[in-house]
Chain A
Amino acid sequence: MTSETIAASTASRSANADPSTVAGRDLRLLMIVPGVLVIVGLFVYPFIYGFISSFNPQGENAEWLANYQRFFSEPRLYETVGKTLWLALPVTILNVGLAVPFAFMLRTPSRGQRLLSTLLVIPMTLGTVLVAEGLMLYLAPNGWLNRSLLELGLLGSPLRLLNNYWGVALSLLITGFPFAFMMMLSYTTGIDPTLARAAATLGASPMEQFRRIYLPLLVPGLTITFCLTFVQAFAVFPSAVLLGAPAGATRVISIAAYEMAYEEYNWSMASTVAMVMGATQLVIVGIVLGLRQFSYRGPVVGGKG
């Protein structure tokens, strides 16, 4: 519905005696109350509670910033930020980078598009734990992958892909790519295909059509997809525990938060870790969205439909 038709229907409704209006007040606004209650109850309140709690450290005479001082002085804690970023950023860049050409090639509806989309959605629906368990069998030193490569003579000794960085990175790739692909597909199919046809008649090769027409118009979609894929990857927990080295290379920030909450029973310190986690995500998302300011952000069709 366009804004004009909404305006028109609003106008025509208020012209008649409208039962949703009482004494000039539009009661339809009340319909957002349940939604607001849910958001406040399940998101805003816990967030504020955690925020305040992070400045109220446990123990006698503790300074209000004591939790944050502890976080940034203990390598076991502050190193989790770097380790999580080291996992989440390359994986996100790879996911989004791979999603764009796939989405571009599959932008016109076809049987292949539907088949591939279905195949790609499956890992999303399975959930991270099942994917992690599958990968444990597949990537193990005596798993299918290593055995096949050894049998084929491509390897002398099995690759170590479990309980380290690579296992977690692979699982994030498998669960994150479908999401990035589906998002990019919807952005790509939203771009008017006659634009590329017009570019072709003006002499642009398929590569130039992509570079000059599709890519600039995809930037807003790229940034949003990047942010959402990144936030998902940054919150990695199950695969970091199951496939990674939760005491070493893949000791991600969510593991630190879990330890604080359920091993040290230090709720306020766990809140602090969560706040640092949120702040880090916010910085990255802020940078990416800030970069978007430099690109075109208007409609992606070439005139009247």
Chain B
Amino acid sequence: MFQQLEMKSITRSFGDYQALSSMNLSIKAGEFVSLLGPSGCGKSTALNCLSGLLPLTAGEIWLDDRRIDTLPPERRGFGMVFQNYALFPHMSAKKNIRFGLEMRKVSAADQSRRVDSALSLVRLQQHADKLPGQLSGGQQQRVAIARAIVIEPPLVLMDEPLSNLDAALRIEMREEILRIHQTLGLTTIYVTHDQDEALAMSDRIVVMKEGVMQQQGAPQELYNRPINIDVALFMGYRNLLDVTATAAPRAGRLKVSHKGADLDATALTDIADGPLIAAFKPDDVVFSDSGLPATVDSVIYGGRDSTVKLDLEHGGQIHARVSDAVRPGDRVHVSVPAEHLLVYPRPAQPIARP
């Protein structure tokens, strides 16, 4: 096994287009790391560069003290799970799983033993002799996972493995993948565009946009303290308010004004003068005696709390998730604790929600 995987400013261009720009990332053995971002953000490119299916344009990949970016995929020995499963359609589940062992010239007795234990790990013993076409989507995905892990790879790469499954199965397979990751003590790199999936599964999340790594950290860190407006918008729904700083802005607590109303806010990095945007999650909105005056527009009751749509008196609409009982037409005051009201430089283009 290995201690650390190190990507050193890896870059991949297609003609003039940089799909992945100078990415630096190190991964420790046993970690579950998600690459998260919208389609076209470079996350799959990064994965394919790691597996060796795409050569790098620049940069290096090191597994401890071994440089691996010069090796073809068949000599890297990483397990890979593909979005469309890529099961060999002419081989039974068992033979699919056995394939990697045959390529490694493992002895026949060992092959059978390891295939059997992989089959039982993904709970497919009864379906061992079926062809992929005779298996359901979830079962095919289990075969694909078993096939990737039976070779005991130092690194398992998963490229949106759950995106072809329906919602209920997706949740089930999430737990299944985590269980296998923990049982075998694997190191997993998981590509997804689904932030819920990334938050639920990862030790660490790497958010990417347009080929550039934006932020990396623990799920809580990214969810609560997104470093820029792109990450903020990608990590769950955020209300947005146009604000201006009342004093020279820098990192830390600061005062901003929204159409004449003063608000206490937080900047996570030093920001330049100019128009700002404040972002906050619906969960962080509280009804209070002071704060911005608003009228309740609609209420969607959700059991423990309700999702309330509010028209701000200063203009604009926000969503709040509160446990207070309110009815449409009620007049309330809303405020957001300063540590949850995060301000960022306002982008020049209008903001597109992912």
Contacts and interface: CB of A to CB of B under 8 A. Distances in A.
Contacts of A303: 82, 84-87, 132, 137, 140, 144, 164
A304 interface: yes
Interface string B106-140: 00000000000000000000000001110001001
Contacts of B72: 200
B291 interface: no
A202 B75 CA distance: 9
B80 interface: yes
Given A205-B74, A303-B140, A304-B137, A198 B164 contact: no
Interface stretch (A26-34, A50-58, A173-181, A208-216): A208-216
B86 A197 contact: yes
Contacts of A304: 84-85, 137, 140, 164
Interface in A231-275: none
A204 interface: yes
Contacts of B100: 202-203
Contact of A197 (B82, B90, B103, B147): B82
Interface string B234-248: 000000000000000
A-B CB proximity, top 7 nearest = A303-B85, A203-B103, A296-B90, A202-B100, A198-B86, A302-B86, A194-B86
A296 B134 CA distance: 14
Interface residues of A, number: 26
B90 A202 contact: no
B52 to A, nearest CB: 8
A196 to B, nearest CB: 9
8 contacts: A195-B89, A197-B53, A198-B82, A199-B88, A201-B76, A201-B79, A303-B132, A304-B84
A300 interface: yes
A199 B100 CA distance: 8
Interface in A274-305: 296, 298-305
Contact of B53 (A200, A300, A302): A200
A217 interface: yes
Interface of A: 192, 194-195, 197-205, 208, 212-213, 216-217, 296, 298-305
B88 A195 contact: yes
> Which of A192, A208, A300, A304 neighbours the largest number of chain B CB atoms within 10 Å of its CB?
A304
Contact of B84 (A192, A202, A213, A296): A192
B38 interface: no
B205 interface: no
> Which of B74, B80, B89 neighbours the largest number of chain A CB atoms within 10 Å of its CB?
B89
> Which of A197, A201, A205 neighbours the largest number of chain B CB atoms within 10 Å of its CB?
A201
B55 to A, nearest CB: 13
Contact of B88 (A205, A208, A213, A305): A213
B173 to A, nearest CB: 14
B142 to A, nearest CB: 12
B99 interface: yes
Contacts of B89: 195, 217, 296, 298-302
A298 B137 CA distance: 17
Interface string B67-97: 0000011111111101011111110000000
B151 interface: yes
A296 B84 CA distance: 21
B73 A298 contact: no
A203 B106 CA distance: 12
A203 B104 contact: yes
B99 A302 contact: no
B266 interface: no
Contacts of B76: 201
A203 B101 CA distance: 9
A204 B84 contact: no
B202 interface: no
B82 A194 contact: yes
A305 B84 contact: yes
Contacts of B99: 199, 202, 204, 212
B84 A298 contact: no
Contacts of B195: none
A291 to B, nearest CB: 16
Given A197-B53, A203-B104, A302 B88 contact: yes
